[in-house]
Structure 1
């Protein structure tokens, strides 16, 4: 019997991050990647954003596997929230599995949960069956070792997911792709190929533009004093290059990342228990924070500032501002910013970079155009298309403009327009008898905002209130009235924060008091027992008055205490 296939993206489409892709083979569901993304600047107080996985909760009995392709936040950090609601086996290559265990332990501690992880480790080039469905894994080259692609085999052909990866035949062990395995999958017949899009408008191959060594080795060679270098904890390929330069120039590396659970620190810990360490520093090249500032060691140190895209620039600002007593900048310091600005970090990154130039240190900034991330450029994408030779092609991961660019690459490789599928989150498509059926079903995909340990507690209204508070402040009106007679018992008090300087606007406060007391008097005269409507009226009148007088619209909170 011919398999019936469905596909829907719950995240990752027309956005950067929070990847989550759902493949349905008959009645069995395979989820590939479960990521998050950082919020835009207007999402005040929100820590992270994850996909809405109500669809998975509604169909949890049908989930055969959750497959994680590599150890980055944008593909695995939502896993803990999903496993709180959905009990499903998780499949991942060995190193990624280690990071998942570390992440779930942190999740349980932070959110006071008790997730029991059903984790299955797979080899990077494994061919296995999951719930009766053949699944192949194939090694890929990305910025973290152990990355894989996935092929789900069906009677209609394979569904091939290449995740985030590039073609780099000179990649070190642990990062290398297996082109032969990809060719074998391609020869077996590929129904649909799913390829990332974020670099689809960049000419040529990504390699060697992703490599750091050639760009910073002359800086290492010339540096007379301490070197301070920033690099994202997620980019282990880049961290390895920094370690190799530290060894070559006989310096000592000091880790400055504040989060012991970030990828760099986690991999250093995990490496201690692996036969072949992913990150290894000889004892003579490993420094400690106690050495920072010590004249005996200081000029020979490489201080590696690592962290997430948000934290790393906050750490740099803290160093510049003198917030770390042991790490005071000196004129002999060489600072290399090898963490190009990412979406959502522009404001803090610009501040850090501007403040760096106010110091007397030697500053070297590497921008996005100088240092590529390890995502597939045009020629990388062409290799995947040629190797797998798919019947249908689905651009994934990136903004919609990147999808269009990716589609143009596919057209140049001879794939017909009607076989290139540009899909948004929630658009569910169906394949039958080797053909994509017209139209699509719609699945709910609203983003879920995480604020502290609250999941989905923050909605648009809360965000709007926070924006309003940050822009125009708050006005609090305090009144005490007799519970029975509604007679005002004390002087009405008006307090403001972030609105106006009261000394310069006494007339505004007096008018707010007057109209508030006027509404209480109306309630008293009308013998009203419930003052809820009066509170609303006071708030609305106050907002209208303030808007007329100042052009501002603060949050107004009337507080009426009945005694």
Structure 2
């Protein structure tokens, strides 16, 4: 009887940051290593990655990282993980090439070379477990699901997928292989849940391609297309439509050049015409009705670029009268407000906005029917819904019950929960560390709740600084308190408040100077407490209060 544990380190009760552990006997298999982009409340944070503590502590047992596809939610945290745990990485050709871009940009991992290319026919025997793969449909080519064949059945991880009966060959799902895995017997299924609560049918990619073509064909002016760089299927549709409509394409976006070059090199993106692309300098040689500007980046970046184009702060482009801004990605819930504001700015600049989701539901993720079909093909004994907020995981659980899986065999987990299969039963057996690790600039994990709290206060009520110079030897204030405020009150209009605050600081400092047991920490804390109460009474605001006490050792000259 195999000793099996399944642990999600990310990707549950949240969207993105996919990382799951499957332990079979003494071996640990890492399934995906992704990041997520921060919500608005994580002020200044660039990205969020999983907590690797458990894997670092058990590094000698990790056999490798197995990747499902080339999006940031599956490969984005890989450079940070490989800094700490040096193990082989397995993925399809495009996935590995995209993963290399991030790994080689990181100084600590740029010499890492232990990459292994697999395809849907690959099987890797690790003794107690055989790892296999199956083709899936997603918005990027070379997407696969992963199977771990154990003595008690398969553990299956779907990765991101959807079923599209009209998918082009490069994106088609291998239904026969999935059914075969189901016949072999599936112990546990880890299946995506991000669309589990939305029963609206998702348009096929052929329908979307027709919609993209019609939009481009019938617009008489310049078109600015905003999309996610790694959604290669949408990029291909835009390029095809541009060629058919005799338009030239101008590429922008930081990540796009690397991604498109990689995809074209591997024949995962087809260029309809070698002369399709032009530079931004060459745009002036063509009338607006022959131009498409393709603005791409990671999630959220194209929308922010549109705002800069509309308000005139973009470094090279500006939205003009008659432009169509065509948003070809479905915004997340967190981005909906930003998109609405962007539309308003674009209309003010004279442009028009159209979203691809205006006429049809567009998604690269499985809808409820797809999820139930996957369950019926695989017939798992246990289901672990993953990748989604709690309500989406719960909706997936309800769908599973309708297919005949009992509720006791469905586990809605939190990050770090340990699911252990023992004596023929799966049950929860403790947890491991799995907090969010925040990336800010070059800092990894050095930003915590206290710093975020201070940033939040600064963003809401500003900062109030009191600077005073003292001479402890003579027990005197050498330089009267100077008050500086940013984001709290307009100083020139609040002279009385500033004067009273300075007097209060002087009073507190003089009192402490007369104390034989003078302590810097007590002085600063007293200033904070008294000023905080006073400022709140006067303004009902609580700024960050920063006392700066400087000491002068210079003796005063006697007259």
Instruction: Provide the TM-score with structure 2 as the length reference.
Output: 0.95
1:343 to 1:526, Cα distance in 2 relative to 1, 3 A: same
Answering whether residue 361 of structure 2 is matched by residue 365 of structure 1, we say no
How far does the alpha carbon of each residue in 1:114-133 deviate from its partner, in whole angstroms, 9 at most, with x for none?
55241111113322224652
Q: Check the 8 A contact 1:271/1:278 in 2, yes or no.
A: yes
Q: Distance in 2 between matches of 1:209 and 1:96?
A: 21
Secondary structure in 2 matching 1:212: helix
Matched residues in 1 for 2:352 and 2:358: separation?
20
Q: 1:462 to 1:347 in 2, by over 3 A?
A: farther
Which residue of 526, 550, 554 maps to 1:537? 526
Residue 555 (structure 2) aligns with: none
- Give the superposition deviation at 1:272: 4.8
**1:242 — aligned with what?**
238
Following TM superposition, by how much is the alpha carbon of 1:207 offset from its aligned partner in structure 2, in angstroms? 4.3
CA change 1:70–1:368 in 2 (3 A) is farther
Match of 1:269 among 248, 261, 270: 261
Give the Cα separation in 2 of the matches to 1:387 and 1:296: 53
Which residue of the partner structure matches residue 45 of structure 1? Answer: 44
Q: Select 1:524's aligned residue among 513, 527, 545.
A: 513
Are the aligned partners of 2:327 and 2:356 in contact in 1 as well (CA < 8 Å)?
yes
Instruction: Identify the match of residue 166 of structure 1 among 157, 162, 168.
Output: 162
Q: Secondary structure at the match of 2:90?
A: strand
* 8 Å CA contact retained: 1:340, 1:368: no
Correspondence for 2:447: 458
Of stretches 20-29 and 294-303 in structure 1, the one that deviates more from structure 2 is 294-303
What's the CA shift for 1:211? 4.8
> Residue 469 of structure 1: CA displacement?
0.7
Which blocks of at least 5 consecutive residues in structure 1 are unaligned?
none
Q: Residue 409 of structure 1 corresponds to which residue in structure 2?
A: 399
Distance in 2 of aligned mates of 1:514 and 1:174: 74
| Matched position secondary structure for 1:370 | coil
TM-superposed CA distance for 1:45, in Å, is 0.9
> CA–CA distance in 2 between the matches of 1:471 and 1:519?
27
Deviations 1:306-328 (A, max 9, x none): 11222111100111112346433
1:240 offset after TM fit, Å? 1.0
Question: 2:499 matched to which residue of 1?
Answer: 510
The correspondence of residues 139-178 of structure 1 with structure 2, limited to 5 A, is: 139-178=135-174
Q: 2:508·2:526 contact (CA, 8 Å) conserved in 1?
A: yes
Partners of 1:339 and 1:501 lie apart in 2 by 42
Q: Is contact 1:448-1:456 (8 Å) kept?
A: yes
Q: Distance in 2 between matches of 1:346 and 1:459?
A: 27
Deviates more, 1:47-56 or 1:509-518: 509-518
Q: C-alpha offsets along residues 144-175 of structure 1, whole Å, 9 cap, x if unaligned?
A: 10000000000110001111101113212321
User: Secondary structure in 1 aligned to 2:530?
Assistant: helix
Change (3 A) 1:150 1:369: farther
Aligned pairs (5 A) from 1:9-158? 9-108=8-107, 114=110, 116-130=112-126, 133-158=129-154
Q: Given that residues 65 and 130 in structure 1 are in contact (C-alpha distance below 8 angstroms), is that contact kept between their aligned partners in structure 2?
A: no
1:464 is paired with a residue whose SS is helix
Match of 1:562 in 2: 551
Q: Which stretch shows the higher mean deviation, 19-28 or 99-108?
A: 99-108
Of 381-390 and 552-561, deviating more is: 381-390
After TM superposition, list the pairs within 5 Å mapping 1:440-519 onto structure 2: 440-519=429-508
Question: 1:52 offset after TM fit, Å?
Answer: 1.0
Q: Does 1:213 align with 2:209?
A: yes
Match of 2:293?
Answer: 303
Secondary structure of the residue aligned to 1:41 is coil
The answer on whether the counterparts of 1:39 and 1:47 sit within 8 Å (CA) in structure 2 is yes
Find the counterpart in structure 1 of residue 193 from structure 2.
197
Q: Which runs of 4+ in 1 moved over 6 A?
A: none
Cα distance in 2 for residues equivalent to 1:347 and 1:560:
44
> What CA distance in whole angstroms lies between the structure 1 residues aligned with 2:551 and 2:358?
60
Flag structure 2 segments of 5+ consecutive residues without an equivalent. Answer: 553-559
Residues 1:392 and 2:353 are matched in the alignment: no
The answer as to whether partners of 1:166 and 1:206 remain within 8 angstroms in 2 is no
TM-score (norm 1): 0.94
The range that moved more, 332-341 or 72-81, is 332-341
What CA distance in whole angstroms lies between the structure 1 residues aligned with 2:203 and 2:350? 34
When residues 5 and 246 of structure 1 are mapped into structure 2, their CA distance, relative to the original with a 3 A threshold, is same
Offset, 1:434: 3.7
> Structure 1 residues 107, 373: CA separation in 2 closer, same or farther (over 3 Å shift)?
farther
Deviation of residue 334 (structure 1)? 2.3
2:202/2:361 contact within 8 Å kept: no
Alpha carbons 1:205, 1:376 under 8 Å: kept = no
Return the offset for 1:94: 0.8
- Does 405-414 or 355-364 show the bigger shift? 355-364
3-state DSSP of counterpart to 1:280: coil
- Counterparts of 2:318 and 2:328 in 1: how far apart (Å)? 20
Segment drifting more, 553-562 vs 346-355: 346-355
Distance 2:422 2:207 in 1: 43
User: Which residue in the other structure is 1:290 paired with?
Assistant: 281
